[in-house]
């Protein structure tokens, strides 16, 4: 049984993690570097803004410039460089779910780590008790707004676009796990933290809960449980032992959301269907039922073989035993192959073709463990 958290409490849960960060941005810390790059900490450092500067570019934080609101606080749209650069400014809610510690982690992480699939931090403000973050502006907003509750006048995400987003998110996570040294555990992967540009290229955002991963002979990092309900790996929720495979579980949840178009927790659904994992379980182990998992908004516009492989990848990420979950390297390779085959098939046979479906390359090494196969091929504990 997967007993991650009580199903009666679906709010975000974020607790103060005392060993997470220093007391101020200027304290000396062990910071992640990027493999193969020297003196990375001395470049691309975020700029320090005054509150007066940020008030000016948002017209004194006018409601007309408000573009979002979350656990951190309100997000405003602004213009830098005489209107040449559009930015998003997050203003810390002093009574909100996140605080100064998460703010410092975010500035440190995004000042040091740069990748096309990580949101770019332009600067920050620490005037008095004010805490603000200045990011590049992502015009299409979060994945959440394009996947759930789509109105009649809004075009749903195509199957190819969903694969493209999954690939980009995997590449961002791959950078954190494999290129940063020590590796970085994201700890808050979810649809609302995946931002999209004009061409639906995804970028991971909100690094306030990020944690440096284990090094040397250590197998995990012990820490207080922090994250978002439904996305948290069961072993981390129960023990507080955080590993890179904790992020893999969260990725599996996001991939299943992309496939189904359903939220991980949706209280508007009837009993038995409110948890995506519980609802999906009967369909995951039966290949003939996979079509019932596909988002109805897709209208069947996907290749069956590609759907089967995408579901198989999600299932492997959602293994209750973390040791059975694949690495992000293997996941990225498998998803990139599916996307390449989707593009190739579309060019040769048209977007609606259901024949000549792609096969997962045997070089991906993304396979179900033999022990799992003995239990019926697919396994997700619910």
Q: How far is CA 361 from the centre of its chain?
A: 25
Hey, what long-range contacts does 78-84 have (CB within 8 A, 24 or more apart)?
Answer: 78/54, 78/134, 80/122, 80/134
Count the alpha carbons within 13 Å of 87 in the hemisphere toward its beta carbon: 27
Can 33-136 and 143-374 be said to share one CATH topology?
no
Q: Is residue 32 over pLDDT 80? A: no
Given this model, what pLDDT does residue 33 score? 61
Superfamily for domain range 33-136:
Phosphorylase Kinase; domain 1 (3.30.200.20)
User: Is 289 assigned to a binding site?
Assistant: no
Cα distance between residue 3 and residue 173, in whole Å: 26
Q: Among residues 309, 324, 308, 304, which one has the least CA distance to residue 379?
A: 324
Q: Where are the domains of the chain?
A: 33-136, 143-374
User: Which candidate, 129, 66, 132, 172, places its Cα nearest to that of 121?
Assistant: 132
pLDDT over 70 for what percent of the chain?
A: 76
Write down the CATH number for the domain with range 143-374.
Answer: 1.10.510.10
pLDDT at position 170 over 80: yes
Q: Could you report the per-residue pLDDT of 129-161, keeping only the tens digit for each?
A: 899 999 999 999 999 999 998 877 889 999 999
- For tokens 């098939």, what's the residue? 345
182: preceding bond cis by omega (within 30 degrees): yes
Residue among 309, 296, 284 at smallest CA distance from 377: 284
Express each pLDDT in 282-317 by its tens digit. Answer: 999 899 999 999 999 999 999 999 999 999 999 999
Nearest C-alpha neighbor of 17 from the set 91, 125, 111, 99: 99
Active-site residues: which are they?
A: 188
Contact 12, 71 (CB under 8 A): yes
Burial bucket for residue 298 (CB in 10 Å: 0-12, 13-18, 19+): middle
pTM given for the model: 0.81
Place of tokens 């908004």: 297
């Amino acid at each position: 049984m997967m007993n991650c958290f009580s199903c009666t409490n679906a709010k975000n849960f974020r607790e103060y993690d005392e060993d997470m960060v220093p007391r101020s941005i200027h304290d000396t810390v062990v910071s992640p570097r990027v493999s193969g790059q020297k003196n990375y900490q001395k470049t691309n450092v975020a700029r320090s803004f005054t509150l007066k500067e940020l008030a000016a570019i948002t017209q004194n934080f006018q409601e007309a410039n408000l573009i979002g609101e979350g656990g951190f606080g309100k997000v405003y749209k602004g213009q830098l460089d005489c209107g040449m650069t559009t930015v998003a400014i997050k203003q810390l809610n002093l009574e909100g779910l996140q605080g100064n510690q998460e703010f410092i982690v975010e500035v440190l992480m995004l000042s040091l780590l740069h990748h096309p699939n990580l949101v770019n931090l332009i600067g920050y403000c620490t005037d008095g008790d004010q805490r603000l973050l200045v990011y590049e502006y992502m015009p299409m907003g979060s994945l959440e707004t394009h996947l759930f509750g789509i109105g009649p006048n809004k075009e749903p995400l195509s199957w190819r676009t969903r694969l493209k987003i999954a690939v980009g998110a995997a590449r961002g996570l791959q950078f954190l796990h494999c290129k940063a040294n020590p590796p970085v555990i994201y700890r808050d992967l979810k649809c609302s933290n995946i931002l999209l540009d004009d061409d639906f290229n995804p970028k991971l955002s909100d690094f306030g809960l990020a944690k440096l991963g284990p090094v040397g002979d250590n197998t995990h990092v012990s820490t207080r449980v922090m994250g978002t309900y439904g996305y948290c790996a069961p072993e981390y929720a129960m023990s507080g032992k955080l590993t890179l495979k904790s992020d893999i579980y969260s990725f599996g949840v996001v991939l299943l959301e992309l496939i189904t178009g359903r939220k991980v927790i949706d209280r508007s659904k009837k009993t038995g269907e409110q948890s995506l994992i519980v609802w999906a379980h009967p369909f995951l182990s039966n290949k003939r039922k996979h079509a019932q998992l596909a988002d109805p908004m897709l209208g069947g516009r996907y290749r069956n073989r590609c759907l089967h492989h995408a579901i198989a990848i999600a299932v492997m990420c959602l293994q209750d035993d973390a040791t059975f979950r694949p690495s992000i390297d293997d996941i990225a390779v498998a998803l990139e192959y599916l996307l390449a085959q989707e593009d190739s098939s579309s060019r040769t046979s048209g977007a609606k073709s259901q024949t000549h479906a792609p096969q997962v390359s045997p070089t991906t090494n993304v396979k179900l463990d033999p022990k799992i196969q003995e239990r019926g091929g697919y396994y997700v504990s619910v």
